């Protein structure tokens, strides 16, 4: 019998209505009362719940360390892991865990729902049951088919650090604009073996040091010098994520260029990603981004914002130099970029 660890952190999926019609979290140790279909699966499912459970809006680096620590402690005792999580910040958590859990040879599947598990039209049961099936899936050699951190939602399996929440009100809440889906669940679960991460033969390593000396500069037409200066000169900032237009274009006003140059000169690393949902940054492709290349801004290729921020947190936690971090940002560590 396959053994799976189900980690409930919080979120809509774990809610039921009490006698007054108010949504309250239920005890996931009694999960079969709300999802009796689980008893028909030939798995041993062990449940661990955060205490207290968290709305995903309150997730932070400590929450990710707690998740990683639970997986580390139980890694060799289970065939796979399913994390139940609120959808709002699920892509951030999936991205962070992808960097923290190195040399995975087992699946870590995050899922949740748009409607509580107690609702008649809920998407929670299908998401949960199929996530468990994916976490238990083995190939003909008895190895896990999925060996990475993923998000399963609305019949699709996404690479965790490639996914974004793009819908607030539809069941198909997530998309992966720059990378194919890893699997699709229909009558059968069809895995896209060509894009799945290979099984690592190296020793499993958990990185639990994260740091966040990071700021965000999202440009927009009419952006003010005062705002840019406030971001680029903020105390304690060691890296800035610059969200540019299109393929990495920005305004070329002298004051704007000077602000970025001053930041770089003071030892701040600038990583540029695109504001677009799809596509990638190509610094220097247009005249309006050549100045960025000259001053040493790092092009983030097709990193999502969620992957960019968590990759920086991970790299700063490794106590690397700024040059080493800049180099690592353009390397494909966990399938997060198309090099």
CATH number assigned to the domain comprising residue 321: 3.40.50.40
Whether 151 is in a domain gets the answer yes
Last residue of a domain, one of 206, 236, 251: 206
82: Cα within 13 Å, side-chain hemisphere: 27
Cβ atoms within 10 Å of 283's Cβ, excluding its own = 22
Residues 195, 285 share a domain: no
Query: Given this model, what pLDDT does residue 153 score?
Result: 97
Q: How far apart are CA 3 and CA 5, in angstroms?
A: 7
Last residue of a domain, one of 206, 236, 266: 206
Annotated catalytic residue: which of 12, 111, 122, 130?
A: 12
Query: Given this model, what pLDDT does residue 283 score?
Result: 87
Q: Taking the model in full, what pTM does it have?
A: 0.95
Domain region containing 76:
2-206
Please give the radius of gyration of the chain, using alpha carbons only, rounded to the nearest integer. 21
Query: Given this model, what pLDDT does residue 117 score?
Result: 84
Query: Given this model, what pLDDT does residue 100 score?
Result: 98
Residues 178, 235 share a domain: no
- Number of structural domains the chain divides into: 2
Residues 192, 50 share a domain: yes
Whether 339 is in a domain gets the answer no
Query: Given this model, what pLDDT does residue 323 score?
Result: 95
Residues 129, 7 share a domain: yes
Q: E strands along the chain, which residues?
A: 2-8, 15-17, 23-25, 43-49, 80-84, 101-102, 108-111, 149-153, 156-159, 164-165, 174-175, 183-185, 189-191, 205-206, 214-218, 239-244, 269-274, 298-299
For the chain, 339 residues long, the average pLDDT of each consecutive 10-residue run is 94 80 72 79 92 91 98 98 96 98 98 89 93 96 97 97 95 95 97 96 97 97 96 95 94 93 95 94 82 91 97 97 96 94
Active site residue 32: no
241 SS3 class: strand
Residues 149, 99 share a domain: yes
Query: Given this model, what pLDDT does residue 273 score?
Result: 96
Overall residue count recorded for the chain in this entry: 339
Cβ atoms within 10 Å of 105's Cβ, excluding its own = 17
């Amino acid at each position: 019998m396959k053994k799976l660890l189900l980690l409930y952190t919080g979120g809509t999926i774990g809610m039921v209505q009490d006698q007054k019609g108010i949504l309250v979290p239920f005890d996931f140790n009694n999960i079969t009362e709300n999802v009796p279909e689980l008893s028909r699966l030939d798995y041993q499912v062990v449940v661990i719940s955060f205490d207290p459970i968290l709305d995903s809006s309150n997730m932070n680096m400590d929450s990710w360390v707690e998740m990683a620590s639970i997986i580390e402690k139980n890694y060799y005792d289970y065939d796979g892991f399913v994390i139940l999580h609120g959808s709002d910040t699920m892509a951030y958590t999936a991205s962070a865990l992808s960097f923290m859990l190195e040399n995975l040879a087992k699946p870590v599947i995050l899922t949740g729902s748009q409607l509580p598990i107690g609702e008649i039209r809920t998407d929670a049961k299908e998401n949960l049951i199929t996530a468990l099936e994916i976490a238990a899936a083995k190939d003909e050699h008895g190895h896990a088919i999925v060996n990475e951190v993923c998000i399963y939602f609305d019949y699709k399996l996404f690479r965790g650090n490639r996914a974004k929440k793009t819908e607030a009100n539809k069941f198909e809440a997530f998309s992966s604009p720059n990378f194919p889906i890893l699997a699709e669940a229909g009558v059968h679960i069809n895995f896209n073996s060509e894009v799945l991460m290979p099984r690592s033969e190296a020793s499993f390593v958990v990185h639990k040091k994260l740091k966040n000396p990071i700021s965000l500069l999202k440009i927009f037409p009419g952006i003010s010098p005062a705002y840019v200066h406030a971001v680029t000169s903020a105390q304690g900032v060691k890296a800035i994520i610059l969200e540019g237009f299109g393929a990495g274009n920005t305004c070329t006003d002298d004051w704007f260029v000077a602000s970025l140059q001053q930041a770089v000169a003071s030892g701040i690393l600038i990583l540029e990603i695109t504001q677009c949902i799809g596509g990638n940054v190509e610094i220097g492709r247009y005249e309006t981004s050549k100045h960025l290349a000259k001053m040493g801004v790092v092009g983030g290729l097709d990193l999502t914002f969620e992957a960019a921020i968590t990759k920086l947190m991970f790299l700063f936690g490794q106590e690397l130099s700024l040059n080493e971090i800049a180099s690592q940002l353009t390397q494909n560590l966990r399938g997060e970029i198309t090099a």
